[in-house]
Structure 1
């Protein structure tokens, strides 16, 4: 085994939370040594651009998106070499290639891995889309304007479907809802959302899931749960992620039921000087309660706070993150829980802009706020969520007009 290289701070993971953490450290400590140990072969990069602006904005380039982690922080980046073991007593981690790194403080920013379909292995024509490498691979394939089957109607699936059809590909989107977005959006907006895709040229296969599939170097065939088959040149799967917390669990760190890492208000685990941030961390939000959030606002804000904590700050993480999506020129943002099975109160500000309030099952408290084509009102949404329970209950008279344009 190689002799360990020792750093003041070791960050396990090479995504946006890792980049933000290194920059957070530098806010308070200009001299501490930092190592970022990434599983991916590329430097930290903003994931939202991979399914949005890099496809849809011809003036937006890699230079515009670059995080410049190494240049701005002086961190040592060890890429394409996943950490495979943590020894908390020795305060060391070991990578796949046998490199050993000692640490003063450690941050897990390992994010998650895409959920896969049994029997459908990733390959030349099958992508479980998440990384910059995936983007380059799909961009190369898209140049031939293939027929692409996109599996999953969530954020990644819908954004990739929109991006590909706008770049000349033939796109079929397989999703489980009767109406695209129907499990998340109120019916009026779900129909409006689906129309964007239909008018944009995407073929929808609603109410279906992929049961199995086969692929070779020329294409793929998917078997759907309604018994039908779908043949395509390329398959892109976007079914969410599973938290990558197993390395921490193997080292005795407490995990949540979903495999994420449990942290306290200082983002600390139950093991001394080991913290976690980003997609992999379950924390207590001051408004939402115990939760885990997979969106960029949480990754960057939590990562920055984690970095400052590693550098000696005694602050708590008290930010309630938002999430957003943008397809076919329409953008929506949200804070809290979006579940279309809950009671919903809609406030139509005009023909385009809508604020939707998602209530708890008793209809007395707001648990989520959707801002459809409504900009710069996230703080107002947080204020509504924080003022619970609402006086007189969550009825239209207390909510309509509460968040204006």
Structure 2
């Protein structure tokens, strides 16, 4: 193996986790060689912008979303190539092009694959995840073109809001009886759905997509579970992702809804780490879980990089997630499940919702409230969920201390 094909730190995956990991490595080791194997030809981007600010802020541009990993860290990016196998004995990674790269420490940051719902691969059928997906959806938006958004997920709801605010006719198809009915308390879910209806989105609850095809005129026809069909210019699917853990599984690493890691983000092989969407980790407050949101990707990525370089620091951060639609911003920590007992405190358009399982607070939703994430974490860690009166007074509905806003 030549010197050019060996890296002290090798990262499989080229997104936000890889960027944060390379920066974390440099905090500990300013000189060690870093290699990144990335399927994408383009540099990594701040992914939240793809369904948020690039649609809603006219002053925002691609210059604001690029992550300059190579320039800032000296990492060597092998772009447009996919890692296909890990040889743990030889400590090498083989790529689809046949390149073999050696490593001393390896990070799996392979992310997740968006659900396709059995739909065919074709240009107007967009399984939304990447910069390329954003650019394709942009081409099909505007001028009152008709886009069907499939899935009542966080990404699906963001896309429906973004599209309708950009002169696009939008139909939103989802299986719940009410949008986010499985996540929000009933009154909040009905309010949330009404914001979409008031904005002009055609809401189709309680149905799923059975099949779809692209016709000769380029239009897409979807057949729904209630027997009806929809014709549109394009389809954007936002129905969740599954972890890309195949390469880890074939390599003999422990997997279970993601690659299993310990508190140091090490896999069952101490020289191999995993972080981001693909990693199932032991959260210090919530227990073992896999989280698919940007706060986890960037914070866990940085810690994985530091630990690759020998820091040996446990990952103790409990991540949050956030979304914005029609001027309402919400943040959440933990489990949001409307089938659980909920305790609510509202002051006009600001509110706190606690999700309670017995005596345990397992999730907190902050609606139009900034600077209270640590309060939410502390409530999950310590609050008595059976004392509803104490819960309602626990987190104030006014903004707290300023917190660094999410990147895009």
Contact 2:84 2:95 in 1 (8 A): yes
Query: 1:47: Cα distance to partner?
Result: 1.0
Query: 1:3: Cα distance to partner?
Result: 9.2
1:112 aligned onto 2:95? no
Task: Tell me the alpha carbon deviations over residues 349-401 of structure 1, each in whole angstroms, 9 at most, x when there is no partner.
Answer: x21001000001x3x2110000011111000000000105x2xx523212011
For the residues of structure 1 that align with 2:352 and 2:276, how far apart are their CA atoms? Answer: 27
For the residues of structure 1 that align with 2:370 and 2:382, how far apart are their CA atoms? Answer: 21
CA change 1:351–1:234 in 2 (3 A) is same
SS of 1:142's partner is: coil
Task: Tell me the alpha carbon deviations over residues 157-176 of structure 1, each in whole angstroms, 9 at most, x when there is no partner.
Answer: 11011111111110000011
- For 1:188, the equivalent position in structure 2 comes to 187
1:386 aligned onto 2:385? no
Contact 2:43 2:66 in 1 (8 A): no
Task: Tell me the alpha carbon deviations over residues 282-323 of structure 1, each in whole angstroms, 9 at most, x when there is no partner.
Answer: 010010001110000000000000000011101000000000
Task: Tell me the alpha carbon deviations over residues 265-297 of structure 1, each in whole angstroms, 9 at most, x when there is no partner.
Answer: 110011130000000000100100011100000
2:337 to 331, 336, 339: 339
For the residues of structure 2 that align with 1:26 and 1:219, how far apart are their CA atoms? Answer: 49
User: Which of structure 1's runs of 4+ aligned residues deviate more than 6 A?
Assistant: 1-4
For the residues of structure 2 that align with 1:374 and 1:33, how far apart are their CA atoms? Answer: 43
Give me the TM-score of the superposition, normalised by structure 1. 0.95
Unaligned runs of 5+ in 2: 399-408
Give me the TM-score of the superposition, normalised by structure 2. 0.95
- For 1:395, the equivalent position in structure 2 comes to 387
- For 1:303, the equivalent position in structure 2 comes to 301
1:351 aligned onto 2:348? yes
Contact 2:163 2:170 in 1 (8 A): yes
For the residues of structure 2 that align with 1:372 and 1:144, how far apart are their CA atoms? Answer: 33
- For 2:403, the equivalent position in structure 1 comes to none
Q: 1:126-275 to 2 correspondence within 5 Å?
A: 126-216=125-215, 218-256=218-256, 258=257, 260-275=258-273
CA change 1:216–1:88 in 2 (3 A) is farther
Contact 2:215 2:221 in 1 (8 A): no
Task: Tell me the alpha carbon deviations over residues 72-118 of structure 1, each in whole angstroms, 9 at most, x when there is no partner.
Answer: 11111111111011101111001111111100100000000001112
1:367 to 362, 378, 381: 362
Contact 1:4 1:99 in 2 (8 A): no
Query: 1:145: Cα distance to partner?
Result: 3.8
Contact 1:2 1:100 in 2 (8 A): no
Contact 1:263 1:270 in 2 (8 A): yes
Task: Tell me the alpha carbon deviations over residues 9-37 of structure 1, each in whole angstroms, 9 at most, x when there is no partner.
Answer: 10000111111000000111111110111
SS of 2:277's partner is: helix
SS of 2:140's partner is: helix
Query: 1:65: Cα distance to partner?
Result: 1.9
For the residues of structure 1 that align with 2:302 and 2:124, how far apart are their CA atoms? Answer: 37
Query: 1:144: Cα distance to partner?
Result: 4.8
Contact 2:152 2:173 in 1 (8 A): yes
SS of 1:191's partner is: helix
Query: 1:41: Cα distance to partner?
Result: 2.2
1:7 aligned onto 2:4? no
Contact 2:354 2:365 in 1 (8 A): yes
- For 2:312, the equivalent position in structure 1 comes to 314
Query: 1:181: Cα distance to partner?
Result: 1.1
